[in-house]
Amino acid sequence: IKDLQLGHNLPILSHLRNFTATDGTGDLALDLNAVYNGGLQMSLDLDVPTKSHGAIRVTADIRVQSASARLHVEVGAPPSDCWWVGFAVQPELDLEVVVHRGHTPDAQDIGETTKDILHQLKAKLLKGLTLP
């Protein structure tokens, strides 16, 4: 991650369910709905494989236009500073991705790769954040 900006809006949280304290340890678990329209932005430096010249460096600027999902949150017992957040189901994501290509002759070889980068980013994000 080259840059990260959280945006100006907080997520809207609603429909809190299954708020439980687990077996006297002080751990908390809850499920809730979250809608985010805050404009989180990040820039990633990526090495993109090409067919003829190996990998080339590109920068992907990603803006989360909106996201909505059912979340599962667990918070460790005090004095723990650990907490976990995961999507209970695959979230609805609206991402805007702009890929900046390098200024080398190899840069011309990635052509339609921008769509592939967007697809792979969404897949990896969803895999990493969606609970089994």
pLDDT per residue, tens digit, the chain (132 aa), is: 888 898 888 889 999 887 777 667 778 889 999 999 988 898 888 887 767 667 778 888 888 899 999 999 988 888 888 888 888 888 898 888 888 775 545 444 455 566 777 777 777 777 777 776
Adjacent-strand bridge partners of 83? 75
* Structure-token pair, residue 115: 């769509």
Q: Taking the alpha carbons of 45, 49, 50, 54 in that order, is the dihedral positive or negative?
A: positive
pTM for the full model?
0.66
pLDDT of residue 69: 92
Adjacent-strand bridge partners of 19? none
